[in-house]
Amino acid sequence: PKTVYLKDYRAPDYLIDETHLTFELFEDHTLVHAQLVMRRNPAAGSGLPPLVLDGQQLELLSLAVDDVPLGEGDYQLGDSHLTLQPPRDEFVIDSSVRIHPESNTALEGLYKSSGMFCTQCEAEGFRKITFYLDRPDVMSKFTTTLSAVQKDYPVLLSNGNPIASGQEEDGRHWATWQDPFMKPAYLFALVAGDLWCIEDSFRTMSGRDVALRIYVEPENIGKLQHGMDSLKKSMKWDEEVYGREYDLDIFMIVAVNDFNMGAMENKGLNIFNSSCVLAHPETATDAAHQRVEAVVAHEYFHNWSGNRVTCRDWFQLSLKEGFTVFRDAEFSADMNSRTVKRIEDVAFLRTQQFAEDGGPMAHPVRPDAYMEISNFYTLTIYEKGAEVLRMIHTLLGAEAFRQGSDLYFDRHDGQAVTCDDFIKAMEDASGVDLAQFKRWYTQSGTPRLAVEEAYDPVAHTYSLTFRQSCPPTPGQEHKEPFVIPVAMGLLDAHGNELPLRLAGEDAADGTSRVLAVSAAEQRFTFVDVAHKPLPSLLRGFSAPVKLSFPYSRDQLMFLMQHDSDGFNRWEAGQQLSVQVLQELVDQHQRDEALSLDPRLIAALRSVLADESLDAAMVAEMLSLPAEAYLAELSEVADVDAIHAAREFARREISRELFDLLWARYQTCREASRTTPYAADAAQIARRSLQNIALSYLALAASDEVVDVCEEQFEHADNMTERLAALAVLVNSPFEAEKANALAKFADYFKDDALVMDQWFSVQAGSPLPGGLERVEALMHHPAFTLKNPNKVRALIGAFANQNHVNFHRLDGAGYRFLADQVIALNALNPQIASRLLTPLTRWRKFDSARQALMRGELERILASGELSSDVFEVVSKSLA
Ligand code: HT7
Ligand code: ZN
């Protein structure tokens, strides 16, 4: 595969003003006719260069320019391009091709999922539908007609508004849709199927009524209300917070079962992985409900950040994805608990994105080269990109940020632009110079920020010295200093916040502020500090960095109790847990008896005993750092020692705090039994506390705890409680109860694919011995198929990513298993294959024996035959 470079970007030679598409959908093929009204791009130079259209896996049936049919000598047809000589500046191309959605297992372009036709065109899927200039800076007005047999495909949808429809004599019918907005081909969509929908409407801030429809297979019609409520909340929030109004008369969402990612923001016709839109209390957990709310919002928000203003080229992907993730995170924070949302996002970022940033696929938020763009829908583009936007928001303040976003949307509406254009709008609106800040877009890797304090009791000054560095990443040996916003405060010995006055300032200004660290080494000195304070640093995780400050365990316990910033209270608890767990890891490695620092128990006891604390915060504070996070923090990750240390700590917590946990569990469960289910913040908080308490209690392995587990499993009226009880049983030594619960669950939910995904995941994640054999056996379960990405993620993905002790077995069988699945999937679905192999790319984190085994499997994949560009890029970069 060829590498594409940002530096080679050139404006398109030709533009496509109008795109008229006709799809004739049949069971064994589809005919696509495209009429493209084209002209020379005045911005691209003079003369009439050859026109090079993208096209892959297309059977060309006919081709004409300005109604003149072309013969074979009039064009060149290769594997991925069709080249011809345009006759003049303005011309019309007509092409007809045959494609095969019925055998498309890659789920890119036009394909069939559970009997319906649907599309996925981002990033480069449209070229598998017709010959086109398949690049985001070519924007066109689309008109689409589709026809199919009416009884099998009564619903025919595309982007924009329906403008005509009719029947044919042979049982077929057709519909024409017109999208009044210019858009790139990646936002094109069509759907044809036997679908039902729920309908609602939304009155926009300017008083227009928009019809809202969510389509689904008939059996899932009862699972759409939460998605619809989420959509209406999103529309309102975007008006209130960003001043953005919806622009078409209709907004549609369609749920499909086979989908490579979460969802897709096609103009007016979003297509969703069913897991991201279907939700019902009996079949979807609270987490799933929150995910639906977040993904519906994310796709809806793209209508402005992505569709109305789109990307010039795919190197700018974070322009729309980072911004939209930031927007959806703020939406979720406003709809639920802000602190808990931030905790969840930061835990995810630090475990997963930091690992990516420290591995062989590390790349900047705006990459400068790629082989396969599908591989660049990464945590760096999405999550780190969102952190970059959050930092701009922090540095500029909410008001100036909003002015910047207004300017950006006004200035660039209808255009395909760059990250630089976004920054320029922010600078112009705020007057803040972001030149140095832009390094966050161009430099990869996670910066380290070491902080040192010095107190002068005579001068009453307190200074903080920040030293930043960033480790080398592929292609980037040396890094220049970043601008790092550090939100902070100072606490006195009673836990009170001190007024903050920096040297040179006239007076104190508040008790919390943002220090913009921009040099490799930089000191900030506070004056009028009567006694040595305790700093609270990086509040709300104000920058995606690895901050270190030499806190003692007692100081961390103090911050856990007194910090006014909820995020930092949690963070202090995490740092305390990390210190204590790392000590246990050391003990395990030295073959010593494990001994837990009682301060961790004391800290958790006071959290549990404090009934005034938000239950969601209690649940978060009780959760020990994940094994994956502990591995990320290690120089060399000792999988077995980490697992042993964490399990030991969990057992000690369970033993020492059993009575408190039991009391809190009983109170929560009683409330669940007596209150009808609602997916609201208070109930979600209560259930998360209840379930984490149960998971600790279960470690006592007593009959009374098994009884409460079974009671919760049998009698819960919702999936959050039922699944948590199932997970506890699955991880327990009670074989009969476990087998019984698994069988009952599978029998009851066998026809619900999304619930069965959860059933697979719970088992795949179990760290008990024999995990690989259990997963291998489940691959033969009738509900499992490699062709469905959700199933692959639920079983194989959960095993390789969440079950460290079993996946990293010292005989290498876990690695071999994963490589076998990657090789099988490479032929079926390259995008899923390349994502699945991520855990193998992290081989440098492990001991030399495991390194050799993991490398061996990567080499076996490389030698396994014809590799897709997706898999080739990840494997070859991992081995480099
Ligand atoms: N913008 C969407 C990206 C997407 C995608 C990319 C590659 C392959 C399949 C895909 N499905 C959706 C999703 C989003 O970020 O909103
Ligand atoms: Zn997105």
- DSSP assignment of 309-324 equals BEESSGGGHHHHHHHH
- Answer for the pair 130, 55: CB distance below 8 angstroms, yes or no: yes
User: Going along 492-541, which residue ranges are E strands?
Assistant: 513-517, 521-526, 534-536
Question: From the alpha carbon of 107, which atom of ligand 1 is closest?
Answer: 9
Going by alpha carbons, the residue nearest to atom 7 of ligand 1 is 374
In 3D, which of 188, 184, 185, 162 has the Cα closest to residue 175?
162
CA 330 to chain centre: 15
Residue from 122, 277, 331 whose mutation best tests the ligand 1 pocket (most atoms within 8 A of CB) = 122
Residue from 261, 291, 316, 325 whose mutation best tests the ligand 1 pocket (most atoms within 8 A of CB) = 261
Instruction: Report residue 90 as tokens.
Output: 């303005």
Give the distance (Å) from ligand 2 centre to CA of residue 219: 28
Q: How far apart are CA 873 and CA 831, in angstroms?
A: 11
Question: From the alpha carbon of 325, which atom of ligand 1 is closest?
Answer: 15
Q: How far is CA 657 from CA 277, 557, 598, in A?
A: 39, 17, 12
Give the distance (Å) from ligand 2 centre to CA of residue 262: 9
- pLDDT tens-digit map of 308-333: 999 999 999 999 999 999 999 999 99
What CATH class has 4-194?
mainly beta
Residue 480, burial from CB neighbour count under 10 angstroms (0-12, 13-18, 19+): exposed
Q: Per-residue pLDDT averaged across 205-215, rounded?
A: 98
In 3D, which of 105, 288, 291, 195 has the Cα closest to residue 785?
105
Give the distance (Å) from ligand 2 centre to CA of residue 414: 18
What CATH class has 448-553?
mainly beta
- DSSP assignment of 73-89 equals GGEEE-SSEEEE--SSS
Give the distance (Å) from ligand 2 centre to CA of residue 338: 21
Q: How far apart are CA 65 and CA 88, in angstroms?
A: 10
Give the distance (Å) from ligand 2 centre to CA of residue 76: 36
Q: Give the type of residue at 36.
A: L
- How does residue 725 score in pLDDT terms, banded at 50, 70 and 90? very high
Give the distance (Å) from ligand 1 centre to CA of residue 224: 22
Going by alpha carbons, the residue nearest to atom 15 of ligand 1 is 321
Going by alpha carbons, the residue nearest to atom 12 of ligand 1 is 264
Instruction: Report residue 852 as tokens.
Output: 């050799």
Residue from 325, 372, 377, 834 whose mutation best tests the ligand 1 pocket (most atoms within 8 A of CB) = 377
Domain limits, the chain:
4-194, 310-442, 448-553, 750-880
Question: From the alpha carbon of 299, which atom of ligand 1 is closest?
Answer: 16
Residues 6 or more apart whose CB falls under 8 angstroms from that of 110 comprise 23, 30, 99, 101, 104, 117, 118, 119, 128, 129, 190
Q: How far apart are CA 864 and CA 876, in angstroms?
A: 13
Give the distance (Å) from ligand 1 centre to CA of residue 173: 30
Residue from 108, 264, 318, 829 whose mutation best tests the ligand 1 pocket (most atoms within 8 A of CB) = 264
Give the distance (Å) from ligand 2 centre to CA of residue 775: 32
- Do 4-194 and 448-553 share a fold? yes
Question: From the alpha carbon of 306, which atom of ligand 1 is closest?
Answer: 1
Going by alpha carbons, the residue nearest to atom 2 of ligand 1 is 264
Q: Give the type of residue at 828.
A: L
Phi/psi at 481 (5° precision) = -60, 140
- How does residue 415 score in pLDDT terms, banded at 50, 70 and 90? very high
Sign of the C-alpha dihedral computed for residues 775, 776, 781 and 785 taken in this order: positive
- pLDDT tens-digit map of 566-602: 999 999 999 999 999 999 999 999 999 999 999 999 9
Residues 6 or more apart whose CB falls under 8 angstroms from that of 128 comprise 56, 57, 58, 99, 104, 108, 109, 110
Residues 6 or more apart whose CB falls under 8 angstroms from that of 837 comprise 818, 819, 822, 858, 861, 871, 874, 875
- Answer for the pair 238, 300: CB distance below 8 angstroms, yes or no: yes
Q: Which residue has the tokens 């399990």?
A: 647
Q: Per-residue pLDDT averaged across 93-113, rounded?
A: 98
Instruction: Report residue 80 as tokens.
Output: 């991925």
Q: Which helix (H) or strand (E) holds 259?
A: none
Give the HSE-up count for residue 570: Cα atoms under 13 Å, Cβ half-sphere. 26
Instruction: Report the complex ipTM.
Output: 0.99
Q: Per-residue pLDDT averaged across 850-866, rounded?
A: 98
In 3D, which of 864, 861, 814 has the Cα closest to residue 834?
861
Question: From the alpha carbon of 831, which atom of ligand 1 is closest?
Answer: 8
Instruction: Please tell me the pTM assigned to this model.
Output: 0.98
Q: How far is CA 146 from CA 64, 221, 259, 803, in A?
A: 21, 25, 22, 46
SS (H, E, C) 720-758: HHHHHHHHHHHCCCCHHHHHHHHHHHHHHHCCCHHHHHH
- Answer for the pair 331, 301: CB distance below 8 angstroms, yes or no: yes
Q: How far apart are CA 665 and CA 74, in angstroms?
A: 76
Q: Which helix (H) or strand (E) holds 566?
A: helix 566-589
pLDDT at 537: 99
The residues that are catalytic are 299
Give the HSE-up count for residue 541: Cα atoms under 13 Å, Cβ half-sphere. 24
Determine how β-strand 310-311 pairs with β-strand 416-417: parallel
Going by alpha carbons, the residue nearest to atom 11 of ligand 1 is 261
Give the distance (Å) from ligand 2 centre to CA of residue 190: 19
Instruction: Find residue 33's DSSP bridge partners.
Output: 22, 96
- pLDDT tens-digit map of 539-556: 999 999 999 999 999 999
Question: From the alpha carbon of 261, which atom of ligand 1 is closest?
Answer: 11
- Answer for the pair 13, 40: CB distance below 8 angstroms, yes or no: yes
In 3D, which of 653, 632, 488 has the Cα closest to residue 577?
653
Q: What lines the ligand 1 site, CB under 6 Å?
A: 120, 122-123, 260-261, 263-265, 298-299, 302, 321, 374, 377, 831
Instruction: Find residue 64's DSSP bridge partners.
Output: 69, 94
B/e letters for 327-355, b = 16+ CB within 10 Å, e = fewer, are: bbbbbbeebbbbbbbbbbbbbebbbbbbb
Q: How far apart are CA 473 and CA 20, in angstroms?
A: 46
Q: How far apart are CA 602 and CA 511, in angstroms?
A: 29
Q: What separation, in Å, do the N-terminal and C-terminal C-alpha atoms of the chain show?
A: 16
Q: How far apart are CA 734 and CA 569, in angstroms?
A: 37
Going by alpha carbons, the residue nearest to atom 1 of ligand 1 is 264
Q: How far apart are CA 243 and CA 692, in angstroms?
A: 40
Phi/psi at 572 (5° precision) = -65, -40
Q: Give the single-character DSSP code of 639.
A: H
Q: Which residue has the tokens 């959700």?
A: 790
In 3D, which of 758, 716, 759, 709 has the Cα closest to residue 734?
709
Question: From the alpha carbon of 259, which atom of ligand 1 is closest?
Answer: 11
Q: Give the type of residue at 841.
A: T
Give the distance (Å) from ligand 2 centre to CA of residue 365: 14
Give the distance (Å) from ligand 1 centre to CA of residue 518: 34
B/e letters for 720-751, b = 16+ CB within 10 Å, e = fewer, are: bbbbbbbbbbbbbebeebbeebbeebeeebee
In 3D, which of 123, 99, 277 has the Cα closest to residue 831?
123
Give the HSE-up count for residue 787: Cα atoms under 13 Å, Cβ half-sphere. 11
Span 310-442 CATH architecture? Orthogonal Bundle (1.10)
Neighbours of 119 (CB within 10 A): 26
pLDDT at 273: 98
- How does residue 611 score in pLDDT terms, banded at 50, 70 and 90? very high
Q: How far apart are CA 836 and CA 798, in angstroms?
A: 10
Give the distance (Å) from ligand 1 centre to CA of residue 495: 46
- DSSP assignment of 297-354 equals HHHHHTTTBTTTBEESSGGGHHHHHHHHHHHHHHHHHHHS-HHHHHHHHHHHIIIIIH
Instruction: Report residue 744 as tokens.
Output: 């009952």
Prior bond to 543 cis, omega within 30?
no
Our CA angle for 134, 135, 141, nearest 5°, is 75
Position 783 pLDDT exceeds 90: yes
Residues 6 or more apart whose CB falls under 8 angstroms from that of 625 comprise 574, 577, 578, 581
Question: From the alpha carbon of 298, which atom of ligand 1 is closest?
Answer: 16
What fold characterizes domain 750-880?
Zincin-like fold (1.25.50)
- Answer for the pair 137, 187: CB distance below 8 angstroms, yes or no: no
Q: What is the CA radius of gyration of the chain?
A: 28
pLDDT at 701: 87
Going by alpha carbons, the residue nearest to atom 10 of ligand 1 is 261
- Answer for the pair 495, 559: CB distance below 8 angstroms, yes or no: no
Q: How far apart are CA 464 and CA 223, in angstroms?
A: 53
Neighbours of 203 (CB within 10 A): 11
Our CA angle for 474, 475, 477, nearest 5°, is 90
Which ligand is closest to the CA of 386, given by its number? 2
